[in-house]
Structure 1
Amino acid sequence: MRRFLAAFLLTAAVSFAQNFANNLPHGTVIERVECKADPSSSYAAYLPSNFTPEKKWPIVFAFDPGGRGAMPIKLYKDTAEKYGFIFVASNDSRNFSAADSDRGTRAMWLDTHDRFPIDENRVYTTGFSGGARMAGHVALACTGCKIAGVIAHGAGYPVSIRPTDKNGPAYFLMVGDVDFNWQEVIKIRQQREDQGYAYRVETFHGPHQWGPPELFEAAMRWMQLKAMQQNRMPREQAFIDLFYKGEELRAVEAQQQHDTLALLAAYRSLVSDFEGLKDNADYAKKLAALKSSKDLKEALKKENEQITQQAEATTDADTALAKLGAASSPSDRNTAISDATAAMKTLKDQVERTKSGTKSLVLQRAFAEVFANTIERGQAQLENKKYDNAEMYFTLIATVSDEPWPQLLLADARAEQGNRKGSLQALDKCIKSGLKNPKALETDAHLQSLRADPEFQRLVASLQNSGQK
């Protein structure tokens, strides 16, 4: 399917006729634009307030792992306005739904190329988690699409393909310091540094989530610099000089703070991002010296130790989950559930006892990794309509987590099995655990059988009323 998607996008990129006529509003979030050729597919969109079909515009295609197109649009619309690009996000692409993701991506690509005057030299993709992998897949698999850059939040490359060309899409990756995929993003940074591929990696304080708006703006600012460097857009010397000065200041701050990895990032930018734009020979020498220094070797060693420690911290839970997946008898299943529960509780206790420092970050990442692994196993079962297995995984993680998400998924699995009472109980716990958005219930297809139920309607109304206070 993904091979077909790449071929289809290539055909669309080079042959689909543009139709610039459109009557969409400018300067506001549009939560649903139906695709003309496939009205069952849609995307959210934002057009800059000064949008006109009389010129070509750069565009960013976004992918959320839950098909929530409006989410990234609302988060980053100010950057789209400031830097003047069309911003669209699929309402169909989501984790564990390859067919819907491919169909929605094809439809969105075709519709935007028919609807808007796009600057084909400045086409970008962005995404969070599984959406980051989808963004990377579109960029790497469809070479004819000529994607200039990828902005990946909370994840790295797609599973089935890796960059093989130094002149391929530039990669800006951002990740939270307690994101379970921190180690993946750090490994990619190390790889791209060794390969000489264009990259920038930024870490923010937080869990697995879309990056903060200021980092997305930094990403688009960097993409604009790369576009000037690659002659994809006219060069603006004032912009280049200001960016260069900022990187010089970042290098000075890193030296003052004795932050070797931050210094590496600053020197790498001053050398690679400004090649052909500024005379940076002195920084090339400084970069070469830093890369051969004991300080950098020690910093990389400590970084890799964190990666190893995270893997070690998840070993017991991962082993139990693997046994659970392979269990062929009720006895084996019960033993695996008991072992997984014990391992998860032990890890959670370690997180709660370790309040600060690097060890705390490592343990938080490890528990988040086990949490995500368990949820994803359950979601895969839910997608395959093995609802009893899905319920098993969601029940397991709900016993060790106070988050609302496991309870919502547990309600989904129970509803699909006709367990009305159990589903409503899980929804009640979900709300008490902190769920705020009534749309999470109203738009959940797995809860369709409960729509007319008075208790379900009461729960939805309670969320709506609490949101109005």
Structure 2
Amino acid sequence: MARWSALLLYFWLAWPGAAHAQASAGEIVAKRATLAEPDQQYSLFLPGGYGADKRWPVLIILDARGRGEQILRLATDGARARGWIVISSYQSQSDVDENITLRALQALLRETGQRYAYDPKRIYLAGFSGTAKTLWTQVDPLRNVIAGMIGCGGGRPPELGALRRAPPAFFGIAGTQDFNYQEMHDLDQDLARIGATRRLDVFDGPHSWPEAAVFTEAIAWLDLMAMRQGRMPRDEAWIDEQFAARQAASDRAQGLQRWRQLEQLARDFDGLRETHALRASADALASQPSVRGALEEASRLRADERRSSARLEDWIQRIGSRDMGGRRNAPPDVPTALRELRIASLQELSRDANPAVADSAQRRLAYIKAATGSYIPARYEAAEPEVARALLQIALAIDPGLPAVHWRLARVLARLGEADAAFEELQAARRLGYVNLEDMKSDRAWAALRSDPRWPAALAPIAERR
């Protein structure tokens, strides 16, 4: 499924089919099943004035947790302003079999062709974290289908090799404290190397989707690129408005931020408006000591983050190693692990008065928490739950306010037969607002707790909340 036939997709998408739309324009449809595959569902927004008399751009969102309507709502302001259809999957997933997300994408592309009056020159895809990475596997198979992508918090997988030709227009997004922040900057540099149409917006925040305003900006930017590329007619008055607003924003910025905005402004409006003065201003600003110093600081922090990542990878290799007799090393000791990973030092740096230093430390801490609280324990949970328990305890020692980690630790403790501790962790997860009722009902990891008299009480408040 990962390498679809472009010809097959062409026949799915070649003839817009608006006859089955049957939804109120300007309103959100919370959940709808696809015509061809009822087990594939999505949330839908049709713009005001939607009808079969014209062709409409489409944005397909593939969230990392299949939060269809929740994530669709982030895009509706921009879609309403620019007249876009938005379709957001309930089945897309990150950190699982990639084919799950690919099947969701396949189903929604087919649904677009069968059900909506879409513009075949203007189909766009958006993904977050692992689903953003998955989109890059489809750039070549769907090169003649998609006009652009929005990728948040997840870069292009290195196993795909070096980019050799420009992909569709790409709007990248990263939070200042996102553990994939540097990955997104690396991708932006790689796209610059091959002359791709690209933009990278950074918001203040962690590994997450941004607020709706960034989605609005992304949709407007993709419209601007469509006008520049001839995919839609130019709206000269709107281009003037965008140009003036972006210039005003760059005038309010300072130092490195102003330089980056001027560089982006000149790239975005090249061929649409006169940009020589913008490039001259950006070049002059780049020579100023404050900007050079900020760029040097960013380079130093990037190097620090790479060293921290390498240290974590070495540590992970050690905990997974065996002695000459094939025996597993003892599970990691929490105080020793915190010391070896330099957690106290990073926590101190995360409070630094310099925001760039503080954000860099937050990114390193976030990466360690993600590794010890999710990605690495998943390798050990079933076969070696003692190791998974130690890893999860390390994550909670760094940050006890991680609800999903408390829940995962409860699963592991249930496997180990430690019922009292497992129920304590379930309560902690519930207090912090995280539950997975379906897993608790179906997964064998919880088997040891299901005969416990406390089990119904553990489920009851979760069921009520849902």
| 1:158 Cα deviation from its structure 2 partner | 3.5
Q: For structure 1, which segment, 27-36 or 284-293, has the greater mean C-alpha deviation from structure 2 after superposition?
A: 284-293
Contact 1:121–1:232 (8 Å) recurs in 2: yes
Task: Report SS of the residue matched to 1:143.
Answer: coil
Q: Are 1:398 and 2:396 matched, yes or no? A: yes
Change beyond 3 A, Cα 1:313–1:160: closer
Q: Are 1:347 and 2:357 matched, yes or no? A: no
Q: How many angstroms apart in 2 are the aligned matches of 1:278 and 1:76?
A: 28
The residue that corresponds to 1:100 in the other structure is 100
How high is the TM-score relative to the length of structure 1? 0.84
Contact 2:170–2:198 (8 Å) recurs in 1: yes
Change beyond 3 A, Cα 1:446–1:458: closer
Structure 2, unmatched stretches of 5+, are none
Q: For structure 1, which segment, 458-467 or 214-223, has the greater mean C-alpha deviation from structure 2 after superposition?
A: 458-467
The residue that corresponds to 1:29 in the other structure is 28
Q: Are 1:299 and 2:294 matched, yes or no? A: yes
Number of residue pairs aligned between Structure 1 and Structure 2: 451
Q: For structure 1, which segment, 357-366 or 450-459, has the greater mean C-alpha deviation from structure 2 after superposition?
A: 450-459
Q: Are 1:207 and 2:206 matched, yes or no? A: yes
Q: How many angstroms apart in 2 are the aligned matches of 1:139 and 1:284?
A: 31
Q: Are 1:282 and 2:256 matched, yes or no? A: no
Q: How many angstroms apart in 2 are the aligned matches of 1:27 and 1:392?
A: 50
Q: How many angstroms apart in 2 are the aligned matches of 1:464 and 1:87?
A: 31
| 1:342 Cα deviation from its structure 2 partner | 3.5
Structure with more helix by fraction:
1
Structure 1, unmatched stretches of 5+, are none
Q: For structure 1, which segment, 309-318 or 273-282, has the greater mean C-alpha deviation from structure 2 after superposition?
A: 309-318
Task: Report SS of the residue matched to 2:31.
Answer: strand
Q: How many angstroms apart in 1 are the aligned matches of 2:454 and 2:388?
A: 24
1:85-127 deviation per Cα after TM superposition (whole angstroms, max 9, x unaligned): 1111222221222232222222222122211121121111112
The residue that corresponds to 1:191 in the other structure is 190
| 1:235 Cα deviation from its structure 2 partner | 0.7
Task: Report SS of the residue matched to 1:62.
Answer: strand
The residue that corresponds to 2:76 in the other structure is 77
The residue that corresponds to 2:8 in the other structure is 11
The residue that corresponds to 1:89 in the other structure is 88
**Matched AA of 2:267:** S
The residue that corresponds to 1:165 in the other structure is 165
Q: How many angstroms apart in 2 are the aligned matches of 1:43 and 1:390?
A: 34
| 1:460 Cα deviation from its structure 2 partner | 4.8
1:355-407 deviation per Cα after TM superposition (whole angstroms, max 9, x unaligned): 2323222211111011112211223556xx54736555434423432111111
**Aligned ranges 1:113-152 → 2 under 5 Å:** 113-145=113-145, 147-152=146-151
| 1:463 Cα deviation from its structure 2 partner | 5.2
The residue that corresponds to 1:273 in the other structure is 268
Q: For structure 1, which segment, 411-420 or 19-28, has the greater mean C-alpha deviation from structure 2 after superposition?
A: 411-420
Q: How many angstroms apart in 2 are the aligned matches of 1:422 and 1:104?
A: 38
Q: How many angstroms apart in 2 are the aligned matches of 1:373 and 1:45?
A: 34
The residue that corresponds to 2:111 in the other structure is 111
Change beyond 3 A, Cα 1:416–1:399: same
Change beyond 3 A, Cα 1:412–1:27: farther
Contact 1:42–1:91 (8 Å) recurs in 2: yes
Q: 1:367 aligns with which of 365, 368, 371?
A: 365
Identity %: 23
Contact 1:318–1:370 (8 Å) recurs in 2: no
| 1:82 Cα deviation from its structure 2 partner | 2.1
Q: How many angstroms apart in 1 are the aligned matches of 2:141 and 2:286?
A: 32
Q: Are 1:427 and 2:426 matched, yes or no? A: yes
How high is the TM-score relative to the length of structure 2? 0.85
Contact 2:153–2:207 (8 Å) recurs in 1: yes
1:228-265 deviation per Cα after TM superposition (whole angstroms, max 9, x unaligned): 111111111111111111232234334xx3x1x32333
